[in-house]
Amino acid sequence: MNLTNKIVIITGASSGIGKSLAIEFAKRGANLVLGARHFVNLCTITQQLEQQYKIKAVAVQCDVTIEGDCELLIKQALVTFDKIDILVNNAGISMRALFKDTDVKVLKSVMDVNFWGTVYCTKYALPEILKTKGSIVGVSSIAGYKGLPGRSGYSASKFAMNGFLDALRVENLKTGIHILTACPGFTASNIRNTALDKEGNEQRESTLNEESMMTSDEVAKIIANGVESRSRTLIMTGQGKLTVLIGKFFPKLLDKLVYNTLAKERNSLLR
């Protein structure tokens, strides 16, 4: 797929991977519909992209946990551009707390953003993407392949996203549309700073070494390449590929490796 003049919707586009995706798709000539809760920041981003890359970009205030906001996001894309080629379900939130200590509302909040936000946007965009034989992308995680301690809600939401996209892919095997599941490893972005603690408040600090991680720009480039080549699944790091492989053949060993790795993070929850 050549991305020039394609119409791309990106959720969670005001920061992190979402902002990097907006920049990467704009570089490749795509026109953008950007959704996020932080509208002022989003408007600044769209103006900068239009000026720098000579594309058209539209900012839409959108909380993906609200079905009506997702419907309006898709309607705005159609009002502005009259078609949709690509939907990137990127909006996401994390959490960090042991399940035994965590208020259930925290898991629900994470599921509402990561899973239901993907479902709502996909539901309203799918009829239009069927017309263009375009792409639906879910920005998932290695946590969608292996449950991570202290991230039970996040892992559950990404497992749910992966299963949803898998089912959607098979349902549309003969329709010509493209479904991409993109799984970054740990990425240097603000997702850990905004991760929810056991009571649902923002953590506001990273417990991991951000300097050794992939950048959001690197992730965005890989995803854009995956859309162009109509890839099925993208597992972006050697650690991630090894995790999936070991999980298939030596799941008990993987439990120990994951435990030992996250036991080393700063202020580890594992004692």
Which residues are tagged catalytic? 154
The letter for the amino acid at 204 is R
Residues 110 and 117: their CA atoms lie apart, in Å, by 10
Residues 106 and 96: their CA atoms lie apart, in Å, by 10
Q: Which string of DSSP letters, residue by residue, matches the chain? A: ---TT-EEEEESTTSHHHHHHHHHHHHTT-EEEEEES-HHHHHHHHHHHHHHH---EEEEE--TTSHHHHHHHHHHHHHHHS---EEEE-----B-B-GGGS-HHHHHHHHIIIIIHHHHHHHHHHHHHHHHT-EEEEE--GGGTS--TTBHHHHHHHHHHHHHHHHHHHHTTTT--EEEEEE--SEESSTTTT-B-TTS-B--S--S-GGGSEEHHHHHHHHHHHHHHT-SEEE-SHHHHHHHHHHHH-HHHHHHHHHHHHTTSTT-S--
